[in-house]
Structure 1
Amino acid sequence: MRTHQGPREPGSFPVPPAGRGSTNQTLALAAMLFAVSMTFIDQTIVSIAAPSIIDELGLSSSGMQWVVNAYLLALAAFFALGGRLSDIMGHRRMMLIGTLVFVVSSVLCGCVPTGDLAQTWLIVFRATQGLGAALMFPAALAVVVSVFPVEKRGRALALFFGLSGALTAVGPLLGGWLTNWTWRAIFWVNVPVAVVALVLAAMAHIPEVRRREKLDVPGALLVAVGMGLSVLGFQQASAWGWSSVATWACVVGGLAVLAVFCRYELGVAEPLIRLRVFRDRAFAADSLVLFFSMMAFVPVFFFASVYAQVSLSASPNQAALYLLYFFVGFGIASQWGGRILDRRGARPAMKLGTALGAVGFALWAHKLTDLSMHDQWPYAALAGAGIGFLLAPASTDAVNRSIGASYGEVTGITQTVRNYAASIGIAVFGTVLTHVTTDRVVETLTSKGVPSGPAHDAARSVAEAVTGNADAQQPSGDGRVATLMRDSMDAVRMDFAEANQWVFYGMAIALGVAFLCSLWHPGTRVTGDPHTAGGPDPETTADSDPGRRDELHGG
């Protein structure tokens, strides 16, 4: 395997080791973990509290869907901007700003008034929560990367991604427990977590690293509009339908704006995203592996949880425990993946992870129709292990190859890729689940003597109710249909399990494509922290470590 040393090509220069001697690496890592934990938990915690929020505030089901999606939309739209601001203004500073925006928005979400203003209030401050997360996460990841030398970075980021990813499973458990008190607590719980993160960050003495560059405002607007529109189209596809003009207007319009963004960036002296980083074959391979892997990793939270509650008749808390099988494998393998990265590079870890993930998801899909939670745990754990092996190595290797040590920028790119892939996975697999569930339930009801028309209406209602589509209608008609529906619930649970098989096999295919992408990785490694040649020099400010600037620049 060829070793990657010294300046040789764009995209291979980690940040200079500014301030590592005075920075408490353990406290810095802990602070960043507490900060990003809020963003992961909030991706799932609101869904559990949705019925209570709807009941108290009188929201429509479509309004509640916008409350959930507003966070994800803002997250996707502003990640690239957050990464670039982190480079220009400083990683530590942007982490603090993002955390404050996030926690203030959380408090305001929990203080939503009842009445006509409630829905707008929640949607607006959920969006600002997403903005805070988009500002915070790239900066937090860049802090971890900058304070750990490259030879220790794999293990540090394996812990970072392993623990923060596992916290997504905490959302449903925590949400169920807090909702028993008040659903508003699911937002207020972020306050003590943020306080701990800020205190630890202050104690860690994290150096401030920033770059003397201008912000590409037109580029920021173009990427925000392009990402926001296309993600909106994918997210709303299940509600609007894939044949809807609105769906394709958003998707195609968003992609067109992103194409304009790419063309614009190539002609700008100081672009928001240096697209030449994709000329690095290893970085491009890392990005593709992350893209196809995240089509399975993020959607599995939703689909496995709904499957457990519908087909296995599990409670929300039991469904969260069901997901723990996946995270046991994920947590253990993520640590091994970090060690493989440190010793052998990213390619072996990505090949192993994508292969295990593809096999794990395929075997898990095969066992879904057994309708036994305990029989599925080895396959769920294997699928989780596959993602655990590849996630930190692919992400770390991509960041290590950043142009001119632009860690914030590249973490913004990789996180945008991940969120974009997740939105596509949820939309596509959600459509597959809805259609297959409808077809299966129609077959079940017609076989029991229900006429075709009422059977289709009832099946569509069942599919919309269990897959979370907006404005689901209850089946109408005579009492005979309702009676047959109650009598057929065991069969419907099996129908839904069979529909989920298609989804999980789709996830296995996505991991299979990721495996092919991992083979394209050249196998080069980043083994040191050389200064960049020809790129902007990072500036270490004196406020965090007096005299460090002179030391860095030889003064």
Structure 2
Amino acid sequence: MLFAVSMTFIDQTIVSIAAPDIVSELGLTASGMQWVVNAYLLSLAAFFALGGRLADLFGPRRVVVVGTLVFVISSVLCGCVPRGDFAQSWLIIFRATQGFGAALLFPAALAVVVAVFPVQRRGRALALFFGLSGALTAVGPLLGGWLTAWTWRSIFWVNVPVAIVALALTATARIADRRREESLDVTGAVLVAVGMGLSVLGFQQAATWGWGSAATWGCIAGGLAVLVAFWRFERDRRHPLVNLAVFRDRAFTVDALVLFFAMLAFVPVFFFASVYAQVSLSASPNQAALYLLYFFAGFAIASQWGGRILDKRGARPAMRIGTALGAVGFALWASKLTDLSMHDQWPYVALAGAGIGFLLAPASTDAVNRAIGASYGEVTGITQTVRNYAASIGLAVLGTLLTHRTTENVVSTLTSRGVPSGTAHGVAEDIAQAVTGNGDARTPTGSGTAATAARDAMSSVRMDFAEANQWVFYGMAIALGIGYFVALRHPGGKGGVAPAGHDAAGEAPAAAPPAGGGHRTSA
């Protein structure tokens, strides 16, 4: 199962490093490149609850196999994108189907892990599962930097051998499927997908349409209204897509909210930090990957401590420490961005990573352990939907902020060099779209005085972009700060209530075949 889910988490962030090469070869627009990144996350968020439900209805092994096949076929097609006018649509479509495959795969894989571990060992297994999945998210840029040196298409093709190994191991593990004879809530699945898609579309396109646009607010408000309708619809269903009763547990609600605010920073940071490194620090893709290695180092070390704290004292202390460290780390990192030096920034990059590392596995594990009256598939569907929806919103909102601040800063730089205001705005928008879409900011195109002034001012533009990124990273610090105050509301203690369909010992009822294919789960 770890082999299977490794692909899904690496692909959340691996594209961020390869994006400049993708833009250069395929001629994508800035908003198009952001959608290539966000389509995957949005599809994950929209269909995760459905994936968890399908694992319950048809058995987790079947859904793992189907999800893996959908994911790897989509990966191959992403790597085979043709050049030309259809390239952008092609890549966005198959990134979305990648996300759909991942949404099927992950909750089903987790259900398998839960089924084969006895309750006394389940906490440690889940902490490892969630901790490793977070670490794999951080590995994405590192792997992407190495693979891009060959060809950016390899970042998608690398999933093929991993998928083959995952399918082979799944077959040899002889995992038996346990199915629940219930109906599938198709209407709920459509409502949640439409609601999330519309709201993220509004946030994503705000930089293009403008915050004063009726289309921007129509999408945001319409999406949120559909999500409210989804919530009301689910309350009256006998077999809902999402069992909303789990939110009656205050600890579960706090876990979900902490994950939401943490994910506003965690996945987006890889995209924005890699763009910053390549634009403001003039780093190569490999150098940008090494820059993000500081974050991963802090994350890896702290995740071990967070797991120990979870085992001994529960999730509350780990979440408080993590959100506090993360808020301080991102704030200090933001203050150092204008130094334009990797060497001066690494302690704060590592501190920000440590904050996320402390809280990610404990919050995720505690939420699953408090799955009152719901299956593990349903609960994981909720928490992972929250995580990926937050990551999509973070990318959209912070990307819009970055574009706006970059444009303002570059306009100020150009007008100070004698470029007329109107012309400066046009050139600044071109530069902002290039750098925030991972284009090449080193050689502005155009002719005449404005283009010459822009080329001459590129060293200042790199500083302008660094200053714009400060707003983004301070925004991440604020998100973690809000998460800290939410974590204070956690009641403490350790969750240990078995989900529906399991007895107090965490095993399946006698009438249902064990999910270990006849093997003893204590082996």
Following superposition, the deviation at residue 112 of structure 1 comes to: 4.1
Question: Judging changes above 3 Å, is the alpha-carbon distance between structure 1 residues 63 and 522 closer, same or farther for their aligned structure 2 residues?
Answer: closer
- Which residue of structure 2 lines up, in the alignment, with residue 325 of structure 1? 294
Spell out, residue by residue over 1:160-199, the C-alpha distance to the aligned partner (whole angstroms, 9 max, x if none): 3333223334333433443444443322211110111122
Alignment partners' CA distance in 1, 2:478 and 2:25: 42
Match of 2:247 in 1: 278
Structure 1 window deviating more from structure 2 (99-108 vs 264-273): it is 99-108
**Partners of 1:548 and 1:215 in 2: how far apart?**
31
Query: Which of 104, 127, 139 is equivalent to 2:96?
Result: 127
**Residue from 58, 61, 83 that aligns with 1:89:** 58
Question: What TM-score, normalized by structure 1, do the two folds share?
Answer: 0.85
2:253 is paired with a residue whose SS is: helix
CA offset at residue 395 of structure 1? 0.6
Quick one: which amino acid aligns to residue 40 of structure 1?
F
Cα 1:121–1:136, aligned 2, differ >3 Å: closer, same or farther?
same
Tell me the CA shift for residue 392 of structure 1.
Answer: 0.6
Shift of 1:40: 1.9
1:517 to 482, 486, 500: 486
CA distance in 1, matches of 2:476, 2:496: 33
Q: Using the TM superposition, give the Cα deviation of residue 433 of structure 1 relative to its aligned residue in structure 2, in angstroms.
A: 1.6
- Judging changes above 3 Å, is the alpha-carbon distance between structure 1 residues 59 and 436 closer, same or farther for their aligned structure 2 residues? closer
- Please give the secondary structure, in 2, of the residue aligned with 1:525: coil
Instruction: State whether residues 234 and 423 of structure 1, in contact with CA within 8 Å, keep that contact through their aligned partners in structure 2.
Output: no
Number of the residue aligned with 1:453: 422
Matching residue of 2:77: 108
Q: In the superposition, relative to structure 1, how do residues 394 and 149 fare at CA in structure 2: closer, same or farther (>3 Å)? A: farther
Provide closer, same or farther for how the CA distance between residues 357 and 459 of structure 1 changes in structure 2, counting only shifts above 3 A.
same
1:545 alignment partner AA: G
Number of residues of Structure 1 aligned to a counterpart in Structure 2: 515
Q: How far 1:233 sits from its partner (Å)?
A: 2.3
Distance 1:220 1:528, change over 3 A: closer
1:229 aligns with 2:198: yes
Partner of 1:504: 473
CA distance in 1, matches of 2:276, 2:33: 21
Are 1:468 and 2:440 counterparts? no
1:239 maps to 2:211: no
> How many Å separate the matches in 1 of 2:515 and 2:134?
33
Give the whole-Å Cα distance in 1 for the aligned partners of 2:416 and 2:493: 59
Amino acid at match of 1:500: N
What is the SS of the residue equivalent to 1:298? helix
Q: Aligned match of 2:314 in 323, 327, 345?
A: 345
| Percentage identity across paired residues of the two chains | 76
Equivalent position of 1:219 in the other structure: 188
Distance 1:383 1:38 in 2: 24
C-alpha separation between the residues in 1 aligned to 2:281 and 2:25?
Answer: 29
- 1:322 match: secondary structure: helix
Partner of 1:491: 460
- Alpha-carbon RMSD: 2.9
Aligned to 2:227: 258
Aligned to 2:265: 296
Structure 1: distance between partners of 2:46 and 2:323:
28
- In the alignment, is the contact (CA less than 8 A) between 1:368 and 1:376 conserved in 2? yes
Hey, what's the Cα distance between the residues in 2 that align with 1:414 and 1:542?
25
- Give the TM-score, by structure 2 length: 0.90
Alpha-carbon offset, residue 480 of structure 1: 2.4
Give the secondary-structure state (helix, strand or coil) at the position aligned to 1:496: helix
Q: Take 2:497 and 2:219, find their aligned partners in 1: how far apart are those partners?
A: 43
Could you tell me which of 325, 337, 345 is aligned with 1:356?
A: 325
Provide the rounded CA distance (Å) in 2 between the counterparts of 1:83 and 1:401.
Answer: 16
C-alpha distance in structure 2 between counterparts of 1:378 and 1:167, whole Å: 21
In 2, the alpha carbon distance for the partners of 1:77 and 1:543 equals: 27
Whether contact under 8 Å (2:30, 2:437) holds in the other structure is no
Structure 2 portions without partners, runs of 5+: none
**Mapping for residues 4-403 of structure 1, pairs under 5 Å:** 32-50=1-19, 52-53=21-22, 64-113=33-82, 118-403=87-372
